[in-house]
Amino acid sequence: MRYESITEAIGNTPLVRIDPAVHGLVHIDLYAKLEMLNPFGSVKDRPAWNMAGPHLATAAERGETVVELSSGNTAKALALLAGMHGLRFKSVTNRMRIPEIKELLLLLGAEIEELPGRSECLDPTDTDDPLTRFHQALAEPGGTYLHTDQYFNPRNTEAHASGTGPEIIKDLDGRAPDWFIACVGTAGSSTGVARVLREHDPDVRVLGLVAHKSDFIPGIRTIDEVHQVGLFDPATYDTIESVTADEAIDGMVTLIRRCGLLSGPTGGAAFHGAVRHLRAIDDELTERRTAVFIVCDRAESYTGYVRQRRPELVGRPPLKNSAAALTEAQVRAEAAVIDTEAARRWISDGDPAPLVIDLRGPHAYAALHIDGSVNITDELFGELLRGGLPFSKRQPVLLACPVGEKSARYAALLTRMGHPDVRSLSGGIIAWRDAGAPLVRD
Amino acid sequence: MRVPLYLQPRLEPPLSSLLEATPFLHSLADALGSPLNVLLPDRIAENAERFRAVYRKHHLTGRVTFAHKANRSSALLRRLAATDPGSTGVDVASLGELQHALSCGFTPDRITATGPKDPRFLWLAARTGVTVHPDSLTELEQLAELVRKFALPRVDVLPRLSGFETATGSGVSGVKVLSRRSRFGTPVGEVGALLDALERHRDAVEPVGVAYHLDTTGLTEKAVALEQCVVVMDELRARGLDPRIVDIGGGFGVGYVEDAGQWERYTTELANAVLGTRPALTWRGHGYGLRNEGGTLRGALGLYPAHRPTAGPGYLDDLLSAPAPASGRPPATLLLEHLYDLAVQPGRALVDQCGAVLARVLDVRPTDSGDHLVRVGMNAGDMSLEEHGVLVDPLLLPREGGQGQGDEGPVGIRLVGNLCLEADLITRRTVYLPRLPHVGDLLAFANTAGYAMDFHAHVAQRQPLARTVAVVRDGGSWRWCPDEEYWPITQSGGPAS
C-alpha cells in the first residue's frame, strides 16, 4: 500500500474474532476492533487528526502552538501531527501517571505542563482552580494556541461516526453488532460509534465501561470523572459498569498471551468488561449474536504500570552481584567497617593507601568531599559490579556514603566477590564531618 | 429511607476511648458549657515521635517543628516542650505566639519565627535568639538593621524561598511542573540578590539554611522545591557560609474519614446531586465548587480530600522516598549526601487525633424536606471544619436515659448554629446519623485540634467562646484541667513534687 502521508494510514483498522475457546461464550461471536494498529498507536489518531487536521495549515502560518489536556494517546498523536507541520505541541495535564508515556512524549518533542496539586490548606471560596486559568489563558485575545479541546469538540465524536462505526458495519457484512463495548475516556469513540450503529439498527446495545473509583486505568475515567466530559451523554449507554485495574490487567494478559493481541490495559478492560457482561446473557441465548469491543492501544508503554500492580507478571530472576539481594545480617557479618579516625590514618599511612570511593551523587560530591576521593554514584557502582571487580584485588578500597549504610552493603558484596581489603567508612561522610575531619571542594 | 451516606471519622487511641466515655464528657459539658474544646496533649508527643521514626528510617537529623497557628492551646505546646529538645520545636507566626512559646518552656534554639513580621516581633525574636525565617529581602534588611541599631546578637536566619515552578528540560521539549503562586518568600529566580544580601549582612545574620512551604498536596512540586533548595544551599556553601538546614514546611495532611468507600460513595452522590439525578445533599443544592452546565459537571470540587490513604508521617516518608525530578535521587538521599539536616513544620498533622469539640443539642425539629433541623450550642466559627472544606460526621453522645424513644434508625439532619443568622450553618451538607439526636445529647466533632477548634472563633452576638480543657488518661478513668492549668508534670493527685 502506497501513501503520500502517514495520516492516510489512519483508520481502516482490522476487526479480529476472538477465539471462543478464550472467552467461553457459546452463542456470541466476539470481535476486537484493533485501534492499536493506527499509525501513531491508538484509537486517538482518528480524533486527533479530525480535530487538528483542518486547522494545521492556518496554525502553521500564524505560528500557533497546538495545546490539549491530555496525558496519553491524544497527546501522542497531536505531538506527531504538530511535528509534521512544523508546529509546537503542549500537553497540559494534572499528573502524568505513566512515566513511559511521559518520556515518549518528550521524545516526540512535546512540551508538558503539569498543573498544581490540590491545596492543602483549603480555601473553599477560591475560584482560581488551575483548569479555569488554563481556559482563560487560551481565550486571551491575541493568543497563539490551537486548542483541540478533545473533551468538548464534536469533531472528536465525528471521527468515529464517520470512520470507526461504518468500518465495523462493513466488516460485519453490512450488519451492526448486537453489542458494542467501549471504555469511556473522552466518550468520543463510544458516542460516535454508538450513533452510527443505532442509526443502522436501533436494537444495538451499548455497554460503557468506567474505571472503578479508587483505581486508575490509563485512558478510562471513573464514574465521577465522566460527568466532567462535555461529550459524555448518559443516554448513549444502555449500561455503565466499572472495571478494576486488576481486571483490566487480567484482560490485557489474556489478549496478549492467548490471542496474539498486544493490547494495553484499556483494551484489557474492554475485553474483561465485555466477557463479564455477556456471559450472563449468553446462557439465555439460542441464536447467534455478535459483539464488538475496542482495543485502544498497545502494551509496550505499560510495563511499569503492570510492575507496580502485578509484579509477578514481569518477574525476573535476581541479578548477579546485587547488593540489594544481601540481607541485613549478611551485611553486618561480612562488611569490614572502619571509623573516621582509623580511616584517616589508613589514608595517610597505608602502603598502599586505599582508593577512596565516594558513593554519593555528583552534586553532593562537588560541594564537599574527602580529599583525593573518586566519585562513583551508588547506582553506577552497582551497575559496574555486575560485570565483576572494577579494580585490582591488590588495591585496598575505602567506601564512603552519607551514613555508612550503602557503603557497608557494597563492602559486603565486594568481599563476597573475592576482594580481600574493602572497608566501609562507618557513620559515613556525616560522621566524618561531625568528627571534624577535613572535607574539601574543588 | 435511602442508604445513609455516612462519613465516619477516623479515630485512634486515646481519642477513640475518650469519645466512648460519654458520662465523663457530659459532666464536663454540664459544668463548662457548650461549646467545649477537649484536648489530649499526650497525643502530640506521640505524633512527633511518629515523624521522628520517619527521620530515623532515612537516617536524617533535624527538628520536627509544630506550626503553632494550627491551635492556640497551652497544653499542647507545654506537652511538646517536654519532649526531646534536640528533635522537636515550635514555629511561631506572631509576636503573641512567640511569647506563648517562650512561656510554655521552649528555649529559643527550638523556636522558629515565620510569616509576615513587624519590628516588635523581629526584636523579641532577635533578642531571645530564635531562628528567623525572613519572608523577603526587605524583611532581611530590616532585621539586619535592627540587630545593628540595638546591638543584638547575630540572628540565625533561614530565608524562605518560593516560585520553584520550572522546566526540567531546555528548549521546547521538557516538563514544566506548575505550582500555585505564593505571596510569601523570595522567588528562586531572584535568589542571587538574596545571597548577596546574606553575605553583606554577615555581621548581623547567620544563614543556617533555607526554607520553603508549599500549599499543595502534590509530591512532585515539593520534591522540585527541595531539589532547588539544595542547589541554593550549595551556592551558600560556595560563598563560604556554612548552611545546615533545609526546612520543607508542612502540608503533610490528615485523614479525617476512615473508610475510602464512604468517601467515594459520598463524592459520587454529590456529583449526581449537582447534576440533578438524585435529591440534593446540601443546603440549597450547594455543590462545593461543582456546578451543572447543561448536564455536564463543571468547576472543581472545593473539598479537602477527607479520606487519605497516606497522610502525616506517611506522606513525609513518600516525599523523602520518591526520586526527585531533576536529579533522579530521592530527597532523603539528596539531603544526606549533601550533609544537610531536615526540618519539617507540620501543623494539622502534629495535632492529628489531639482533640474534639463538643456541642449540646438545643433543638430538634422536622422540616418539609424530611430531614430534621438540629440546632446546637455553638456556631460555625467555633468548629470550622466546614470553613476548611473538611466533610466528616460528628459522633452522637446520648444523654443518660435518653435512648430508646421509638425513633431509632438512620436520619438525615441539617446542623445549624446558635447565631441569629440564616448563614450560620455548622455544615451545608445533610449529615447522616445512626439515629435522631434528642435535646440534651452532645455532638462530638472529632479530630478538630488542627485549625478547626479555635481558629475562627469569635464573640459575635455575645455568644460564649468555647472553654478548652486538657484531658489525660489516669488508669481506667480520665482526668481533666483547664488548658492554661495543664503542665506536663501534672499527674494523678496533683503536680509531681
| Rounded alpha-carbon distances, angstroms, from residue B404 to B364, B412, B431, B439 | 16, 18, 21, 14
- Mind listing the domains of chain A with CATH numbers? 6-42+155-314 (3.40.50.1100), 45-149 (3.40.50.1100), 323-434 (3.40.250.10)
Which positions 93-132 of B are in contact with A (Cβ < 8 Å)?
Answer: none
CA gap A428, A411 in Å, rounded: 13
Cβ-based neighbours of B391, under 8 Å, separated by 6 or more: B7, B256, B257, B266, B303, B304, B306, B385, B427, B429
Of B169, B178, B327, the CB nearest to A115: B178
Which positions 231-260 of B are in contact with A (Cβ < 8 Å)?
Answer: 231, 234, 237-238, 250-251, 253, 260
Sole residue written with cell 472553654: B467
Q: Same structural domain for residues B361 and B468?
A: yes
Q: Same structural domain for residues B160 and B202?
A: yes
Beta sheet of A111-114, edge-to-edge order: A145-147, A65-69, A88-93, A111-114, B174-177, B166-167
Q: What is the pLDDT of residues A87-125, one digit of tens each?
A: 999 998 876 778 888 889 999 999 998 887 777 665 555
- B120-136 core/surface letters (b: 16 or more CB in 10 A; e: else): ebbbbbbebbbbbbbbb
Q: Same structural domain for residues B387 and B480?
A: yes
Q: Same structural domain for residues B333 and B411?
A: no
Closest approach of chain B CAs to the CA of A329, in angstroms? 17
Q: Which 8-state DSSP code applies to residue B309?
A: S
Q: State the burial class of residue B73 (Cβ atoms within 10 Å of its Cβ: 0-12, 13-18, 19+).
A: buried
Q: Note whether A124 contacts B: Cβ–Cβ < 8 A.
A: yes
B1, part of any domain: no
- B220-244 core/surface letters (b: 16 or more CB in 10 A; e: else): bbbbbbbbbbbbbbbbbbeeebebb
pLDDT, residue A324, reads: 79
B214, part of any domain: yes
Sole residue written with cell 519565627: B113
pLDDT, residue B170, reads: 41
Mean pLDDT of all residues belonging to chain A? 91
Q: Same structural domain for residues B462 and B316?
A: no
The answer to whether the Cβ–Cβ distance between B260 and A232 falls below 8 Å is no
Which is higher by pLDDT, B171 or A75?
A75
pLDDT, residue A124, reads: 53
Of the three residues B351, B384, B417, the one that is the final residue of a domain is B351
Which residues in chain B have their CB less than 8 angstroms from residue A430's CB?
336, 339
B7, part of any domain: no
Closest approach of chain A CAs to the CA of B485, in angstroms? 31
pLDDT, residue A138, reads: 78
Of A95, A116, A433, the CB nearest to B180: A116
B65, part of any domain: yes
pLDDT, residue A129, reads: 64
Phi, psi of B362 (to 5 degrees): -105, -30
Banded pLDDT at A308 (limits 50, 70, 90)? confident
CATH classification at residue B399: 2.40.37.10
- The reply to whether omega before B35 is within 30° of 0 (cis) is yes
- The reply to whether omega before B394 is within 30° of 0 (cis) is no
Q: Is residue A421 within 8 Å of A397, Cβ to Cβ? A: yes
Q: Note whether A129 contacts B: Cβ–Cβ < 8 A.
A: yes
List the single best residue of B57, B162, B175 to mutate versus A (max A Cβ within 10 A): B175
Cβ-based neighbours of B290, under 8 Å, separated by 6 or more: B270, B271, B274, B297, B298, B299, B300, B301
The answer to whether the Cβ–Cβ distance between B169 and A106 falls below 8 Å is yes
What is the Cα A371 distance to its own chain's centre?
Answer: 43
pLDDT, residue B403, reads: 54
Residue of B nearest to A134 (CA): B178
| Rounded alpha-carbon distances, angstroms, from residue B428 to A124, B273, B283, B391, B433 | 12, 14, 5, 10, 15
CATH classification at residue B123: 3.20.20.10
Which positions 29-68 of A are in contact with B (Cβ < 8 Å)?
Answer: none
The answer to whether the Cβ–Cβ distance between B179 and A116 falls below 8 Å is yes
Of B215, B260, B338, the CB nearest to A364: B338
pLDDT by residue for chain B (497 residues), tens only, comes to 467 999 999 999 999 999 999 999 999 999 999 999 999 999 999 999 999 999 999 999 999 999 999 999 999 999 999 999 999 999 999 999 999 999 999 999 999 999 889 999 999 999 999 999 999 999 999 999 999 999 999 999 999 999 886 655 444 346 777 777 777 888 888 999 999 999 999 999 999 999 999 888 888 889 989 999 999 999 999 999 999 999 999 999 999 999 999 999 999 999 999 988 899 999 988 999 888 888 888 888 889 999 998 999 999 999 999 888 888 889 999 999 999 999 999 999 999 999 999 999 999 999 888 889 999 999 999 999 999 999 999 999 999 765 555 567 899 999 999 998 888 999 999 999 999 999 999 999 999 999 999 888 898 899 999 999 999 998 889 999 999 999 998 654 444 44
Banded pLDDT at A180 (limits 50, 70, 90)? very high
End-to-end CA distance of chain B: 59
Q: Tell me which residue range forms the domain holding B223.
A: 42-253+308-351
CA B273-B7-B42 angle, 5° bins? 150
Q: State the burial class of residue A395 (Cβ atoms within 10 Å of its Cβ: 0-12, 13-18, 19+).
A: middle
HEC string of chain A equals: CCCCCHHHHCCCCCEEECCHHHHCCCCEEEEEEEHHHCCCCECCHHHHHHHHHHHHHHHHHHCCEEEEECCCHHHHHHHHHHHHCCCEEEEEECCCCCHHHHHHHHHCCCEEEECCCCCCCCCCCCCCCHHHHHHHHHHCCCCCEEECCCCCCHHHHHHHHHHHHHHHHHHCCCCCCCEEEEECCCCHHHHHHHHHHHHHCCCCEEEEEEECCCCCCCCCCEHHHHCCCCCCCHHHCCEEEEECHHHHHHHHHHHHHHHCCCECHHHHHHHHHHHHHHHHHHCCCCCCEEEEEEECEECHHHHHHHHHHCHHHHCCCCCCCCHHHCCHHHHHHHCEEECHHHHHHHHHHCCCCCEEEECCCHHHHHHCECCCCEECCHHHHHHHHHCCCCCCCCCCEEEECCCCCHHHHHHHHHHHCCCCCEEEECCHHHHHHHCCCCCECC
CA A22-A25-A28 angle, 5° bins? 120
B6, part of any domain: no
Instruction: Give how many domains chain B has, as a whole number.
Output: 3
Bridge partners for B341 per DSSP = B245
Q: Same structural domain for residues B391 and B319?
A: no
Average pLDDT score over residue span A134-163: 86
CA gap B255, B10 in Å, rounded: 7
Of B172, B237, B267, the CB nearest to A109: B172
Q: Same structural domain for residues B314 and B432?
A: no
B2, part of any domain: no
**Closest of B124, B198, B107 to residue B161, by C-alpha:** B198
B28, part of any domain: yes
Q: Note whether A239 contacts B: Cβ–Cβ < 8 A.
A: no
**Closest of A151, A62, A71 to residue A110, by C-alpha:** A71
Cβ-based neighbours of A310, under 8 Å, separated by 6 or more: A246, A249
Q: Same structural domain for residues B483 and B424?
A: yes
Of B264, B297, B300, the CB nearest to A227: B297
pLDDT, residue B405, reads: 55
Of B216, B289, B304, the CB nearest to A117: B216
B378, part of any domain: yes
Check whether A206 has a pLDDT greater than 90.
yes
Which residues in chain A have their CB less than 8 angstroms from residue B219's CB?
117
Q: Same structural domain for residues B281 and B386?
A: no
Q: Is residue B82 within 8 Å of B45, Cβ to Cβ? A: yes
Q: Same structural domain for residues B290 and B152?
A: no
- Torsion angle, CA of A21/A25/A27/A33, rounded to 10 degrees? -80
CA gap A143, B482 in Å, rounded: 61
Closest approach of chain A CAs to the CA of B24, in angstroms? 33
Which residues in chain B have their CB less than 8 angstroms from residue A124's CB?
288-289, 302-303, 387-389
pLDDT, residue A1, reads: 87
The answer to whether the Cβ–Cβ distance between B174 and A131 falls below 8 Å is no
pLDDT, residue B402, reads: 55
Long-range contacts of A127-131 (CB under 8 A, 24+ apart): A129/B289, A129/B299, A129/B300, A130/B178, A130/B180, A131/A69, A131/B300
Of the three residues B351, B386, B413, the one that is the final residue of a domain is B351
Closest approach of chain B CAs to the CA of A401, in angstroms? 7
Of A117, A366, A401, the CB nearest to B221: A117
Q: Is residue A298 within 8 Å of A36, Cβ to Cβ? A: yes
Of B175, B267, B289, the CB nearest to A102: B175
CA gap B107, B33 in Å, rounded: 35
pLDDT, residue A95, reads: 66
DSSP H or E stretch at residue B495: strand B494-495
Closest approach of chain A CAs to the CA of B423, in angstroms? 15
Which is higher by pLDDT, A328 or A344?
A344
Which is higher by pLDDT, A422 or A71?
A422
Q: What is the pLDDT of residues A242-260, one digit of tens each?
A: 999 999 999 999 999 999 9
pTM > 0.90:
no
Q: Same structural domain for residues B324 and B364?
A: no
Closest approach of chain B CAs to the CA of A151, in angstroms? 11
Which residues in chain B have their CB less than 8 angstroms from residue A102's CB?
175
- ipTM attached to this prediction: 0.70
Q: Which 8-state DSSP code applies to residue B447?
A: S
Q: Same structural domain for residues B327 and B378?
A: no
